[in-house]
Amino acid sequence: MAKIDVIEKFLRYVKIDTQSDDTTGTSPSTMKQHDLAKLLAEELTQIGASDVYYDKEHCYVYASIPSNLDDGKDRPAIGFVSHMDTSDEVSGKDVNPRIVENYDGKDIVLNADEKVVLSPKDFPELSNHIGEDLIVTDGTTLLGADDKAGVSEIMTMAETLLINPDIKHGEIKIAFTPDEEIGAGTAFFDIDKFGAKYAYTVDGGKLGELEYENFNAAEGNITVHGRSVHPGDAKNKMVNAALLCYEFHSLLPAFQNPMYTEKREGFFHLTEVKGGTESATASYIIRDHDEKLFAKKKELFMAAGDFLNKKYGEGTVDVEVHDQYYNMIDKIRPHMHLVDNAKKVMIELGITPIDSPIRGGTDGAALSYKGLPCPNLCTGGYNYHGKYEYASIQEMRKVVDILLGIVNAYGIDY
């Protein structure tokens, strides 16, 4: 069987800046995401994929690999989805990856001038990669493994199948999406054009992770209308909007905060505060795996605004809460073969499956609610959204094996 190296693709893709931006109000949110979309569409065509379609307006890429089985069995088309954009938390421009061969368990100096060090003291997970080859950043940008690792792994799977016709398989569908990092990855996703009955997103982390449960998510925003008065004459007159933002925050449970939560524990996360005495705003994300606890969190958020309005006068604080996505578990339960088959493949490859509730969301959560059951698979990437991001070469190659195993499970083994 001819081998395709996933790492060569990954190192090319991460050099393309695809950072999304939640402030533009456009789809895609940044035009530079088209740079990778066009490249992927061209590569899919070159390797012989069918039905390659590049949505030039909204920046989606779709493709198919036809079944090469002729036994007359009715098999579902299986899809694989990854997103092209990277987080807006840290720059994704001029990414300069390097490979640390045979990692020895010690500190990795990413950038000596900036004193940026990837250390197992701060990231204990590094100790699990001793002897592996790691792809790291130069300490000035993120790496982009979220989710160009997934993109690379899907592309490698596709090319492997297309240049090795002796590998028998059913119909495979592929899609790459924009704007996942800002929660808009499926806004214009065409499920009918995609054509899969079931799918997997390839957007997780540690090798073996298999995620089919995620947060219920909402966005919360407050706007505070203060009253600016000269501080020398402010007694009983001034209403400091910025301070009221912090008073609002003090009304939320102190330990329901990302800093103190894990696993299925939800939180309120203050993401931004802006303003001064006259006016101020604060933005939050609200998360919980449990539907009832999620509802209570939203009620508490609204109640904090009501309390301040009673204290300082109606109209002082405006509060808005908008749902973003929901826990996919209810949509996956009727189709647990997706989970069972992925676990079986991992075990056959000597990989321990890790049932891991997602402390976030994926395109798969939204797609599941749109009628396409879609759990999430690992990629071999770590420390996403920052300059300490890294990926394991050995794990990325094993993820390609997982994808090929799933293809087999829904092909000749189905």
For the whole model, what pTM was predicted? 0.89
| End-to-end CA, the chain | 22
Query: What is the DSSP-derived secondary structure letter of residue 187?
Result: T
Give yes or no for residue 413 having a pLDDT over 90: no
| 337: CB partners within 8 A, 6+ apart | none
pLDDT digits (tens, 9 = 90+) for 107-135: 999 999 999 999 999 999 999 999 999 99
Query: To 10 degrees, what angle do helices 393-409 and 6-13 make?
Result: 110
Three-state secondary-structure class, residue 255: coil
Give yes or no for residue 414 having a pLDDT over 80: no
pLDDT digits (tens, 9 = 90+) for 337-350: 999 999 999 999 99
Active site residue 180: yes
Model confidence at 357, in pLDDT bands (50, 70, 90)?
Answer: confident
Q: What is the rounded average pLDDT of the residues 270-276? A: 96
Active site residue 85: yes
Model confidence at 2, in pLDDT bands (50, 70, 90)?
Answer: low
Domain annotation for the chain: domains and CATH numbers: 6-213+327-409 (3.40.630.10), 217-325 (3.30.70.360)
| Residues of the binding site for Zn(2+) | 83, 146, 181, 203, 385
Query: Would you state the pLDDT for residue 72?
Result: 81
Q: Tell me which of 17, 159, 179, 180 is the catalytic residue.
A: 180
Q: What is the rounded average pLDDT of the residues 74-98? A: 96
> 198-202 and 98-100 as β-strands: parallel, antiparallel, unpaired?
unpaired
Task: Note every long-range contact of 102-111, with CB atoms under 8 Å and residues 24 or more positions apart, other chains counting.
Answer: 102/131, 102/132, 102/133, 103/129, 103/130, 103/131, 103/132, 103/133, 103/134, 104/130, 105/130, 108/134, 108/136, 110/136, 110/137, 110/138, 110/139, 110/387, 110/388, 111/138, 111/139, 111/140
pLDDT digits (tens, 9 = 90+) for 26-63: 999 999 999 999 999 999 999 999 999 999 999 999 99
Arithmetic mean of pLDDT over the chain: 96
Q: What is the rounded average pLDDT of the residues 143-161? A: 98
pLDDT more than 70, % of the chain: 99
Query: To 10 degrees, what angle do helices 393-409 and 145-163 make?
Result: 50
CB 78 within 8 A of CB 158: no
| 232: CB partners within 8 A, 6+ apart | none
Q: Tell me which of 85, 211, 213, 395 is the catalytic residue.
A: 85
pLDDT more than 90, % of the chain: 93
Q: What is the rounded average pLDDT of the residues 193-200? A: 98
CB 181 within 8 A of CB 15: no
Q: What is the rounded average pLDDT of the residues 124-150? A: 97
Query: Would you state the pLDDT for residue 1?
Result: 61
Give yes or no for residue 147 having a pLDDT over 90: yes
Question: CA 88, CA 184: separation in Å to the nearest integer?
Answer: 14
pLDDT digits (tens, 9 = 90+) for 248-259: 999 999 999 999
Listing DSSP states for 275-329 in one string gives E-SSEEEEEEEEEESSHHHHHHHHHHHHHHHHHHHHHH-TTSEEEEEEEEE--TH
Query: Would you state the pLDDT for residue 359?
Result: 86
Give yes or no for residue 361 having a pLDDT over 80: no
Query: Would you state the pLDDT for residue 274?
Result: 96
